[in-house]
């Protein structure tokens, strides 16, 4: 990496006079008048090698070797479990309690079951839209388990597992997807746009990447309050191409705000493969450019994600610095119910991921090895989990301005005049208010 | 490009080159159109005219405090302030009275390229008044995030011309935050300030008046203060930068708040209603003065709309029902400008009272040009000529 290179240059600086270059090429222009003899050049140039331009990073030195930087080491991917669920290096096991592990696993299964039911509900026309979380359960649960309830969550839309873990119930998800009278969002947004003030989960919106700079701002607010809390902001590798990503990371770094940027790199943005999204070393390689603590993690390894987020949270809260995490995973499901992913990727590719490395399976094997889980319990849990509309005008502002009062009156009158055109049987009995 | 634009304006305000204010002619008020009472023809210049002599400016403490909207501070002292000083005073009040208030934007730390935040970082700390990296979408997104967790961010966009990178954050995020969450969250604490309007030589990207783009966005409130008192009383939104130094008036020292969504009838009349906002008010004042001189007996009512969203339909409607004629003038281009919204609404509400077509005098439907500014703006001559046409209809 760049850091390594600069360190090397600093170290070799005193030996620069040994380089087989003509003195005129070795001594910076400004220093030439002082260093007329070769014997002076080492001492003089040592002082003059440090770059003093105001935009230069501390430690930057001059070089006379013209070298474009093009060959970067690839950032490794941290893992704890192998695909058989075995801990590879014993010291890396976070040794979560049985209770914590069971909460994580139960939430994974709940999410999985909810996805199956809601996906079908959409196929039957019962809800208008849905997005599943298949294959990415590890990123959600590993993150959520490492946070406290004071930490603010900003999501993109494919993080329902993190919300469930925090206490956003399956029932509440259903209310939102159906846009019924119990929906906290009052039925205004498309399905899967969840949010809850009580649970510190900022309401999800469709425009991609917009939550990133917002997360930086919220983190700055937490810092000003002196809170023992941070902000976690989820986003996909596609959203990282938005300008808001750049704005957010740069602002979080310069304002030293306690925010964890958590990228779910699942290989696809709808149909666009990561190869067409960027040419650098994924998203993680950008962290260094912003001067930010950065790590890449195996997103299908819930314990690795847990460890990484736990430490990132410590850095954010204790050191008041932002952190970038890139979790590599695979989007097993279609992008949404409006997408058929077989149009742009082979079905076998998906099947292979499901078969070989589903995060739920990997964690289940870990639990089974500890004798904390069995096939019977699995069947029982899946069964248990399975059994388990009217505000058009309000909240545009805190109060209804005259134009909205008039427009509401017009709609009320129209509905009274043409009741057959405005069937309200699917809505709660309260009047439009 | 951005660095260039900032340094351009920095050098102006710091050097002995005439600043915006002096360019307008504070030192030689005889150049104003208002001085044509002595017989000289009005100049058709492309910059602000007549601010110093405007009757809309409160020259004395008595004029200032007699205004009914300032009843709450009737016993306050007043002090002579220009526009940017009034903004500074309002910001200082916000910081002093609200621990969660912060100010950020490009170059606000040293006082701002228009001096609006001068002294605030020193007084309130660098954690409360600070520079942002040069990213408009970031600045507004950051502000939304702070407001979403209950803070009071006051974000500055250096020029309204540069608000467009933040259009998504403003229109899709800030404006819809409360509605889309079912009021679980809101960003009501967020204020965005941006200097707007023509400045004599600002050309395409230092002159724009983008209010109509935002007026089409439910969830936003848009305010356009025309004077130092309003700049302090509203403490937000679109600021006509040409007035920053040129508009000087007596402003109450004490804290006060002016009502949002309320227009102000600044001159009463019976034959014609003229509506404008921001710096255009002074153009209209001059145009009306001249028209009333040329057409003896003519009596024109002038309304400062002040709030674009929500706008005060009631005041405009009441006025047009009395006068039967309406002229709207704004610097922004004609097509799609906010004047169209006012015209359509008043036509709907006052159809039987209208004695002439509603008229609009606006910027032409071109980008805002440099050397052609005086031919571009809806200046005094164009407004006056339109008044004559309406009255002769």
Q: HSE of A384 in the Cβ direction (CA atoms, 13 Å)?
A: 10
d(CA A401, nearest CA chain B) in Å: 7
d(CA B387, CA B393): 10
What dihedral angle (degrees, nearest 10) is formed by the CA atoms of B294, B295, B297, B303?
-90
- What does B20-33 look like in DSSP terms, one character per residue? HHHHHTTT-GGGSG
Instruction: Give residue A418's pLDDT.
Output: 86
Mean predicted confidence (pLDDT) in B106-133: 96
Which residue of chain A comes nearest to B149, CA vs CA?
A218
Q: Are A344 and A271 in contact (CB under 8 A)?
A: yes
A311 is catalytic: no
The backbone torsions φ and ψ at residue B248, rounded to the nearest 5 degrees and listed phi first, read -125, 125
B165 at A interface, C-beta within 8 A: yes
Question: What residues form DSSP beta bridges with B363?
Answer: B333
Mutate to test the interface with A, among B98, B151, B180 (most CBs of A within 10 A): B180
Mean predicted confidence (pLDDT) in B137-165: 96
B318 at A interface, C-beta within 8 A: no
What dihedral angle (degrees, nearest 10) is formed by the CA atoms of B200, B206, B207, B210?
-170
**A103-107, A139-143, A366-370, B244-248 — which is least confidently predicted?**
B244-248
d(CA A205, nearest CA chain B) in Å: 8
B168 at A interface, C-beta within 8 A: yes
Which residues lie below 8 Å from residue B130, measured CB to CB, with a gap of 6+? A255, B102, B103, B104, B108, B109, B121
d(CA A249, CA A257): 10
The shortest CB-CB distance from A196 to any of B140, B184, B188 is to B184
Query: Directed axis angle between helix A98-123 and helix A375-387, to 10°?
Result: 50
- Average pLDDT over chain B reads 86
Mutate to test the interface with B, among A202, A214, A289, A408 (most CBs of B within 10 A): A214
Among candidates B186, B252, B261, which has minimal Cα distance to B221? B261
> What is the torsional sign of CA B83, B89, B92, B97?
negative
**DSSP assignment, residue A244?**
H
d(CA A390, nearest CA chain B) in Å: 11
Q: Which CATH architecture has domain A90-369?
A: 3-Layer(aba) Sandwich (3.40)
Instruction: Give residue A141's pLDDT.
Output: 98
Confidence category of residue A24, pLDDT binned at 50, 70, 90: very low
d(CA B229, CA B63): 12
d(CA B218, CA B216): 7
d(CA B355, CA B393): 8
Q: Would you list the domain boundaries of chain A?
A: 90-369, 390-433
Instruction: Give residue A394's pLDDT.
Output: 80
pLDDT at B153 over 70: yes
The order of strands in the sheet holding A293-298 is: A201-202, A152-154, A231-236, A259-265, A323-328, A293-298
Count the helix, strand and coil residues of chain A and give each as a percent rounded to the nearest 5: 45, 10, 45
d(CA B241, CA A249): 32
d(CA B307, CA B233): 13
Q: Do B141 and A248 touch (CB under 8 A)?
A: yes
d(CA A397, nearest CA chain B) in Å: 6
Give the SS3 label for residue A146.
Answer: coil
- The three-point CA angle B70-B73-B74 to 5° equals 85
Pick the CATH number of B262-391 from 3.40.605.10, 3.60.15.10, 3.40.50.920, 3.40.50.720: 3.40.50.920
Which residue of chain B comes nearest to A242, CA vs CA?
B137
Which pTM does this prediction carry? 0.85
Provide the chain B residues 22-81 that lie in CB contact (below 8 A) with chain A. none
Instruction: Give residue A388's pLDDT.
Output: 66
Q: Are B71 and B96 in contact (CB under 8 A)?
A: no
**DSSP assignment, residue A196?**
B
Number of other residues whose CB lies within 10 A of the CB of residue B52: 21
B313 at A interface, C-beta within 8 A: yes
Among candidates B127, B103, B97, B98, which has minimal Cα distance to B117? B103
Mean predicted confidence (pLDDT) in B374-387: 94
B274-329 pLDDT tens trace: 999 999 999 999 999 999 999 999 999 999 999 999 999 999 999 999 999 999 99
Most distant CA pair in chain A, distance: 99
Q: Are B84 and B114 in contact (CB under 8 A)?
A: yes
d(CA A39, CA B267): 84
Instruction: Give residue B34's pLDDT.
Output: 36
Which residues lie below 8 Å from residue B66, measured CB to CB, with a gap of 6+? none
A393-426 pLDDT tens trace: 788 888 888 888 888 888 888 888 888 888 777 6
Among candidates A269, A333, A329, A277, which has minimal Cα distance to A299? A329
Give the SS3 label for residue A203.
Answer: coil
Instruction: Give residue B47's pLDDT.
Output: 47
Question: What residues form DSSP beta bridges with B274?
Answer: B302, B327
CA–CA distance from B261 to each of B97, B132, B257 (Å)? 24, 31, 13
Q: Are B84 and B245 in contact (CB under 8 A)?
A: yes
Interface ipTM > 0.90 = no
Which residue of chain A comes nearest to B183, CA vs CA?
A395
The shortest CB-CB distance from A185 to any of B143, B144, B182 is to B182
B259 at A interface, C-beta within 8 A: no
A65-106 pLDDT tens trace: 999 998 889 999 999 999 999 999 999 999 999 999 999 999
d(CA A84, CA A105): 16
Check whether the bond before B310 is cis (ω within 30° of 0).
yes
B193-229 pLDDT tens trace: 999 999 888 999 999 999 999 999 999 999 999 999 9
Question: Which residue in the list B106, B136, B317, B331 is annotated as catalytic?
Answer: B136
Mutate to test the interface with B, among A221, A250, A255, A259 (most CBs of B within 10 A): A221
d(CA A56, CA A64): 17
What is the helix (H) or strand (E) element at residue B301, kind and residue range? strand B300-304
pLDDT at A35 over 50: no
**A139-153, A348-362, B6-20 — which is least confidently predicted?**
B6-20
**DSSP assignment, residue B153?**
E
Long-range contacts of A63-67 (CB under 8 A, 24+ apart): A63/A9, A64/A19, A64/A21, A64/A25, A64/A26
* CATH fold of B2-7+54-252: Rossmann fold (3.40.50)
Q: HSE of B222 in the Cβ direction (CA atoms, 13 Å)?
A: 27
Q: Are A162 and A155 in contact (CB under 8 A)?
A: yes
Among candidates A258, A239, A236, A266, which has minimal Cα distance to A312? A258
Confidence category of residue A12, pLDDT binned at 50, 70, 90: very low
Q: Do B184 and A185 touch (CB under 8 A)?
A: yes
Q: Would you list the domain boundaries of chain B?
A: 2-7+54-252, 262-391
What dihedral angle (degrees, nearest 10) is formed by the CA atoms of B60, B64, B65, B67?
140
The shortest CB-CB distance from B135 to any of A188, A189, A250 is to A250
Most distant CA pair in chain B, distance: 63
Question: Which residue in the list A128, A206, A342, A433 is annotated as catalytic?
Answer: A206
Give the SS3 label for residue B240.
Answer: strand
Provide the chain B residues 266-305 that lie in CB contact (below 8 A) with chain A. none
Pairing of strands B264-267, B300-304: antiparallel
Residues of B in contact with A188 (CB under 8 A): 179-180, 182
Q: Are B315 and B303 in contact (CB under 8 A)?
A: yes
Mutate to test the interface with A, among B3, B95, B138, B189 (most CBs of A within 10 A): B138
Among candidates B194, B147, B197, which has minimal Cα distance to B173? B147
Q: Would you say the CATH fold of B262-391 matches that of B2-7+54-252?
A: yes
Provide the chain B residues 92-121 that lie in CB contact (below 8 A) with chain A. 100, 102
Q: Is B307 exposed, middle or buried (0-12, 13-18, 19+ CB in 10 A)?
A: buried
Q: Do B148 and A243 touch (CB under 8 A)?
A: no
Which residues lie below 8 Å from residue A375, measured CB to CB, with a gap of 6+? none
The backbone torsions φ and ψ at residue B365, rounded to the nearest 5 degrees and listed phi first, read -80, 55
Among candidates B116, B147, B72, B328, which has minimal Cα distance to B231? B116
Instruction: Give residue B238's pLDDT.
Output: 66
The shortest CB-CB distance from A197 to any of B100, B147, B184 is to B184
d(CA A43, CA A27): 11
Q: Do A219 and B137 touch (CB under 8 A)?
A: no
B188 at A interface, C-beta within 8 A: yes
């Amino acid at each position: 990496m760049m850091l390594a290179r600069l360190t090397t240059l600093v170290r070799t600086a005193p030996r620069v006079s040994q380089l087989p270059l003509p003195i005129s090429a070795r001594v910076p222009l400004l220093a030439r008048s002082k260093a007329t003899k070769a014997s002076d050049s080492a001492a003089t140039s040592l002082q003059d090698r440090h770059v003093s331009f105001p935009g230069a990073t501390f430690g930057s030195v001059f070089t006379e070797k013209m070298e474009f930087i093009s060959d970067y080491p690839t950032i490794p991917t941290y893992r704890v479990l192998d695909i058989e669920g075995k801990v590879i290096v014993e010291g890396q096991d976070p040794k979560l309690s049985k209770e914590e592990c069971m909460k994580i696993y139960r939430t994974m299964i709940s999410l999985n079951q909810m996805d199956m039911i809601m996906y079908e509900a959409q196929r039957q026309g019962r809800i208008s839209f849905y997005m599943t979380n298949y294959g990415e359960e590890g990123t959600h649960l590993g993150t959520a388990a490492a946070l406290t309830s004071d930490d603010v969550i900003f999501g993109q839309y494919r993080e329902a597992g993190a919300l469930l873990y925090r206490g956003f119930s399956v029932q509440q998800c259903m209310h939102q997807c159906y846009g019924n009278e119990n929906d906290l969002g009052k039925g205004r947004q498309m399905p899967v746009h969840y949010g809850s003030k009580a649970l510190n989960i900022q309401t999800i919106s469709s425009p991609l990447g917009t939550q990133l700079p917002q997360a930086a701002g919220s983190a700055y607010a937490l810092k000003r309050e002196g809170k023992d809390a941070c902000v976690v902001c989820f986003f996909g590798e596609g959203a990282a191409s938005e300008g808001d990503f750049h704005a957010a990371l740069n602002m979080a770094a310069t304002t030293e705000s306690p925010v964890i940027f958590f990228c779910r790199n699942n290989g696809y943005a709808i149909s666009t493969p990561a190869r067409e999204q960027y040419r650098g070393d994924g998203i993680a390689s950008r962290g260094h450019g912003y001067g930010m603590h950065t790590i890449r993690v195996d997103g299908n390894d819930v314990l690795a994600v847990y460890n990484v987020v736990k430490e990132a949270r410590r850095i954010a809260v204790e050191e008041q610095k932002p952190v970038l995490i890139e979790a590599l995973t695979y989007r097993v499901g279609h992008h949404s119910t409006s997408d058929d992913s077989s149009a742009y990727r082979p079905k076998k590719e998906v099947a292979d991921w499901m078969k070989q490395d589903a995060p739920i399976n990997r964690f289940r094997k870990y639990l089974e090895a500890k004798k904390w889980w069995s096939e019977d319990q699995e069947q029982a849990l899946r069964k248990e989990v399975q059994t388990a509309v009217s505000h058009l005008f309000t909240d545009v502002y805190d109060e209804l301005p005259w134009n909205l009062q008039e427009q509401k009156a017009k709609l009320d009158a129209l509905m009274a005049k043409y009741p057959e055109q405005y069937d309200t049987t699917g809505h709660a009995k309260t009047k439009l208010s | 490009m951005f660095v260039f634009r900032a340094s351009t304006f920095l050098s102006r305000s710091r050097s002995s080159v005439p600043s915006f204010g002096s360019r307008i002619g504070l030192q030689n008020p005889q150049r104003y159109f208002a001085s044509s009472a002595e017989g000289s023809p009005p100049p058709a210049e492309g910059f602000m005219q007549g601010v110093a002599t405007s009757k809309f400016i409160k020259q004395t403490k008595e004029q200032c405090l007699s205004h009914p909207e300032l009843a709450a501070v009737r016993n306050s002292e007043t002090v002579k302030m220009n526009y940017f000083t009034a903004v500074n005073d309002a910001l200082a009040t916000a910081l002093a009275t609200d621990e969660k208030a912060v100010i950020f934007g490009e170059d606000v730390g040293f006082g701002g390229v228009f001096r609006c935040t001068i002294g605030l970082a020193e007084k309130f700390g660098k954690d409360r008044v600070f520079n942002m990296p040069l990213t408009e979408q970031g600045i507004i997104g950051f502000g939304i995030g702070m407001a979403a967790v209950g803070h009071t961010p006051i974000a500055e966009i250096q020029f309204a011309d540069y608000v467009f990178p933040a259009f998504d954050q403003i229109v899709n995020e800030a404006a819809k935050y409360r509605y889309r969450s079912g009021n679980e969250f809101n960003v009501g604490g967020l204020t965005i300030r941006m200097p707007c309007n023509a400045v004599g030589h600002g050309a395409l990207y230092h002159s724009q008046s983008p209010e109509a783009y935002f007026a089409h966005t439910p969830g936003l409130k848009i305010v356009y203060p025309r004077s130092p008192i309003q700049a302090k009383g509203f403490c937000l939104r679109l600021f006509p930068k040409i007035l920053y130094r040129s508009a000087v008036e007596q402003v109450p020292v004490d804290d006060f708040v002016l009502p949002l969504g309320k227009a102000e009838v600044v001159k009463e009349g019976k034959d014609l209603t003229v509506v404008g906002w921001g710096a255009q008010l002074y153009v209209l004042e001059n145009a009306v003065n001249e028209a009333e001189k040329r057409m003896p007996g003519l009596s024109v009512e002038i309304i400062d709309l002040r709030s674009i969203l929500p706008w005060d339909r009631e005041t405009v409607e009441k006025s047009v029902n009395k006068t039967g004629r309406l002229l709207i003038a704004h610097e922004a281009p004609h097509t799609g400008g906010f004047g169209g919204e006012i015209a359509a609404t008043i036509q709907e509400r006052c159809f039987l009272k209208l004695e002439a077509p509603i008229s609009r005098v606006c910027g032409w439907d071109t980008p805002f040009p440099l050397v052609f500014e005086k031919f571009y703006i809806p200046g005094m001559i164009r407004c006056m000529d339109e008044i004559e046409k309406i009255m002769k209809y």
